[in-house]
Amino acid sequence: MHLKILSGGISITKTAVVAIGGNAILRAGQKGSAEEQFGNLQNSMPYLVKMIKEGYDIVITHGNGPQVGNILLQNEIAAHKVPPMSLDICGAMSQGLLGYMIQQTLTNLLYREKIKKCVVSIVTQVVVNADDPAFKNPTKPVGQYYPKEEAEKLMKEKGWVMKEDRARGGFRRVVPSPEPVDIVEKDAIRRLVFSGENQEYVVVAAGGGGIPVVRTANGYTGVEAVIDKDLASSVLANAIDEKFFIILTDVDRVCLNFGKPDQTPISSMTLSEAERYYERGEFPSGSMGPKILAAMRFLQRGGEKVLITSGEGLMDALEGRTGTVITR
């Protein structure tokens, strides 16, 4: 929820930042063609259309892992013909690519429902600290796998950090994954979402966790890193003073003892309960962990409510029939 000051007085409107899961754009086993990604969006965007029909003004965030990986691969293959681009620029390219796909798909679906909204994408820079410890300990794998000899050559020539994945039989580049701390374009995003009597915009922002930048004496400069998309989404929500943060994933509810015989779904929990479960290892880093961490950070910084559910369960979750709600 958010307060808007209109000509007739103060109005309470329904607003949210919605982080959509990677499978909304590209599913496991797919090659990543434009046709596949548009097709997946045709199936996932109707959930957001229903939300908008219910009167919500939303900011949409999304992942970009496979897409930026493909852009990096294209860079490497064509490096002998055209200059390759740095990782921050590849991230910006993926924001434009996916922003266009989401804009077009959602615009067309809204048009069919006779909903007058302009869907806009903001190429979003996300501030990280230059002294973040992650820069000394790169852990995020990007790009393709290389045989040992080629990996050693790339480490020497380009200064890359590479780690072996024995299960995949090769070496892969790893880059820092620093903590997001601010959003450069936050004022523009806030103005688009929360200003005016007849809100006309649906905003797509912080795609793929945003473009990582650091503050310098002369402004901002991009860095070669990858930011977790859920953490960046939570920072964005706080930066625009949004109180409701929705994380869409593959399951309808968060569970304790996930995948075990005594698996227990959670319909609601407080921030302190989430912190306790997180500390005792209930939410692994490879699955629900980053989402719970993003939810906790959002609430710790002043957010009021987080909803974690699937796209299919979104409307039921908004009405309290499914989903996991976390509050302060």
CA–CA separation, 209 and 21 (whole Å): 12
CA–CA separation, 223 and 180 (whole Å): 13
CA–CA separation, 158 and 93 (whole Å): 22
Residue that the structure tokens 């429902």 belong to: 113
Decide if 178 contacts 140 (C-beta within 8 A). no
**What was the pLDDT predicted at 8?**
53
Region for residue 158 given its phi and psi (left: phi exceeds 0; alpha: psi -120 to 50; beta: otherwise):
alpha
What's the CATH code of the domain at 229? Answer: 3.40.1160.10
**What was the pLDDT predicted at 292?**
98
Region for residue 141 given its phi and psi (left: phi exceeds 0; alpha: psi -120 to 50; beta: otherwise):
beta
Beta-carbon contacts of 316 under 8 Å, excluding residues fewer than 6 positions away, are 309, 322, 323
Please count the structural domains in the chain: 1
The 10s digit of each residue's pLDDT in 173-224 is 999 999 999 999 999 999 998 875 567 899 999 999 999 999 999 999 999 9
Decide if 176 contacts 140 (C-beta within 8 A). yes
In this prediction, the residues of the chain whose per-residue pLDDT falls under 50 are 5
**What was the pLDDT predicted at 77?**
82
| Positions marked active-site | 22-23, 140, 229, 291
CA–CA separation, 33 and 98 (whole Å): 12
Instruction: Residue 88: give the domain boundaries.
Output: 2-327
CA–CA separation, 266 and 256 (whole Å): 7
Query: Sign of dihedral through CA atoms 194, 200, 202, 205?
Result: negative
Decide if 208 contacts 64 (C-beta within 8 A). yes
Beta-carbon contacts of 215 under 8 Å, excluding residues fewer than 6 positions away, are 127, 130
**What was the pLDDT predicted at 9?**
52
**What was the pLDDT predicted at 4?**
52
**What was the pLDDT predicted at 144?**
83
How many other β-carbons are positioned within 10 Å of the β-carbon of residue 95?
26
Overall pTM > 0.85: yes
Decide if 63 contacts 25 (C-beta within 8 A). yes
326 beta partners: 269, 306
**What was the pLDDT predicted at 2?**
55
CA-wise closest residue to 24 among 56, 66, 52, 53: 66
